[in-house]
Structure formats: C-alpha cells, structure tokens
Amino acid sequence: MKEIEIKGDYYQTGFLIGNCHRNILKKIEEKVMKNLRIEDEKLKSYKEKLKNFHFLIEEIEGYCKGAEIKFENLLKIKLGNFNVPKLNCSSLFLSSEFFEENVSCAMKIRDEKPLPQYICKKVNNNKIPYLFSGSISDTGYGFFIKENGFLGINNTGSFLKKDFINENGFDDCDIMRIVAELSNGPEEAIEIIKKMQKDKIIGYTGNKRGMIFLFVDTENSLYIEINSFNLNYKKIHGKFCFTNDFLIDDSKNWVEEIETEGTKSSKKRKERLEEILKENEKFDVKKLIEISRDKKNYPYSICRDTSLMPVRTISSLISFLYNEPILYICIGNPFVTPYFPFHLKGNKIIENFISGEISLKLDRIFEEKKLLDEEYLNKIRKFEDEIFKNFNEIKNIEEKNLEVQKKVFNFIMSGGENESLYNS
C-alpha cells in the first residue's frame, strides 16, 4: 500500500491524480471510444468554455499527461456521459442542536452510474486544501469539503422547460469543481454561479434537468436551485433534506412536468428522509450511516440497486463541521461497504482509494451480494465500531487517517472474489 500526497501547482496535482487513474482510465477509453460519437461543435463549445478557467485547463492537461490519454478523448468521454438519463442522490443537513456532539453536519448519499469512484485530498499552492470525490473519467466533482469547513453537495434537479436550457455548458459536477477552487464560503459560491450564468456557460445535467446545490460552512447554510440562466436560494436551519425535485416555489416555474420511474423514486426517497428526520430528535454517526442503508419502499429506497434504471447508490459522505472538520467516507454502496473517518487536516491517502481499485473491488462485492446479505452487513457494522474506536485513540492526525485506511483496504480486499473487472 503506497501513501500518496497530491500537492503542488495545478499541472502537478493534475498529473499525480491522472497517474493514479491511468490503468482504469485506459480501460474506460478502450471500451467507450469505439462507439462514442460527439459532435465537433459540442466539443469545440466545451473547450471554449474551459478557457474561462485557466487553472482547470492547466490541471486537466496535467491529468491527461499523467493518465496517458489525449485531452480531446477525455473531454469526449466526459461529454458522452452528459445526456445519460439520471436522477441521483439523497442529501440532508442537520444544524448543531440535532446532533449529539453539538455540531452541524451535512450528508450526501450519491446515486450514479456505477463508474469507478475515488476520493482525493488536494493541496494546491496558496490555496485552502480540500478533499473531494468523483467518478473516474468525469472532470467534475460529486462532493468537496475544505479544511476551513466549507463544503459543497450537488444533486440532480427537476426536468426543465426548454426556455431555461442552454444546450452547451457546464453541468453540476463541473460547477462544483469550479466553486471548490474559486470560493471559500457559501455566499462566494453563489456569486461565482451567477457570474457563470451571466457568461452563458452553464448548461444542464442528465437529460435536460436543473441542478441543486447545498453550500455550508460553520457560519452559513445555503440551499440553491438553478437552471442555465436563473438561480434561487434560501438559508436553511434545523433538519432539512432534498432529493431531485425543486423545493423553492419560484423555481417551479421552470419545471417541465414529466412522470418517470425516476421522479417517483425522488418523491419516495424524500418522503422517507422526512419520516426518518421526524422519528428522531437527535442523531449520531451511527444513525446517519444507517440512513444510507435504508431499504424501506424498495425499489424506491434511499439505498438503491439498478432494478429501476442504470444507476445505483455508489457512495456516501458525512461531514461534521468541527473547527477541524471530520469526514466519514463510504466509497461504495453502503450495504456492502464500511464507512471510515478522515481528519481533514491530514493530507496523505492510500493510493488505492484514489486509483479506483477499491471501487472496482466493491463493485464485484455488490454484484455478488446486492442489498440482500444482512450477515455481511453486520460484519461491516462490527468492523466500523472497531475502526472508529481506533481512530479516536490515535493522536497523530496523519497516523490515524492512514491506519484506518489500511484497515479498510484490507477488509474490502479480503471480501468478494478476485477477478478482473470493468463491466459497468
């Protein structure tokens, strides 16, 4: 197990991440490029929009060098995912009075196509370091949290009427990456998104859907809904949850009413989250973790498989906004994957968590066990108790982070069968 620190200028950090992704990305490129058809105009438009953010071009160029993939091929793979139908993610926020340790927290349960997932802690020169997660082959992020406690969560939003759609622009994961780099708090994030809308460089997500964001720090919590041109937001407090439908009244004027299995799933997951929040006055780490494993209303459950559509629950992240933030990470489906704590002041990560190797192993385990193996889940719960205790006992930050990661790596790699895979 190799310990790695992603640190340097943008080209250097891009190169280091790309080098970690090289083996899996080559398999994705080989599989996808044979049948992928991206219009020249669409590719040209996306490249033009990237020019608004020189740091992004610099880091992607470094990434492509490290991954040994052509710049255009990476963008084509990214754009090829753009119109895939998706209806993703369940998220919640709790202000400090509803968490037993008296700190606010946010949680994202990510539903996506089962592409290899990764986590990474990034330290760029003269920037606040942050941890983020995403899918290998996507240039954007699914989540981020900075050392100052500023975090971002994105969910797919409602279907949009055509007047509110810019056909060529950045999606929600791209926006998350840009916000992570250019802002250090929720209000700055809103200003960046407004500027992007003014410059007409925001598109849509999935199959013509809007976007939902939650930006939180220790002082402020903002829930945001956008289309390509407009933005609505509100401050939130207390217990709050959202899935994939716009909640702000003014945003509902943008919505194209379309009934699908996905929209039914969104409503059912929102109802279940509200039910759980109502049933519990206070929460702790274990209660939050079990939310991500909830199967009530299956197949419209919070924890999902691919029985409805080609997406499933693929990761989950819980952030606690202490002065020095603590993150609980689940890099696979929570029903077959242990959570592990990570202290944000530590920079080192075991390379296997960045490379996607862990994600592929968990993909194999999930295909074997689905959402059915309660005995394996109880084994995971027992293991979590042990590593949470271990984490709290070790004083040195880097040491505690790495020790827990090593234990999680060994636990995951000892489960399931060893077989080569890229079958997503």
| pLDDT tens digits for range 303-349 | 999 887 778 899 999 999 888 899 999 999 999 999 999 999 999 99
pLDDT computed for residue 87 by the predictor: 59
Integer-rounded Cα Rg, in Å, for the chain is 20
Residue 359's nearest CA partner among 147, 168, 113 is 113
pLDDT computed for residue 424 by the predictor: 34
CA distances from 188 to 72, 105, 226, 232 (A): 31, 20, 16, 15
pLDDT computed for residue 419 by the predictor: 35
Q: Quick one: average pLDDT of 54-70?
A: 97
- Mean pLDDT across the chain: 93
Question: Does 102 or 417 have the greater pLDDT score?
Answer: 102
Q: Which CATH architecture has domain 84-413?
A: 4-Layer Sandwich (3.60)
pLDDT computed for residue 85 by the predictor: 54
Question: Does 37 or 57 have the greater pLDDT score?
Answer: 57
How many CB atoms sit inside 10 A of residue 386's CB?
Answer: 13
Q: What is the pLDDT of residues 154-198, one digit of tens each?
A: 999 999 999 999 988 999 999 999 999 999 999 999 999 999 999
pLDDT computed for residue 421 by the predictor: 31
Task: Please provide residue 198's backbone torsions phi and psi, each rounded to the nearest 5 degrees.
Answer: -60, -35
pTM of the model: 0.95
How many CB atoms sit inside 10 A of residue 218's CB?
Answer: 16
CA distances from 320 to 246, 326, 341, 385 (A): 25, 5, 10, 18
Which sign does the torsion angle of CA 220, 225, 230, 234 carry? negative
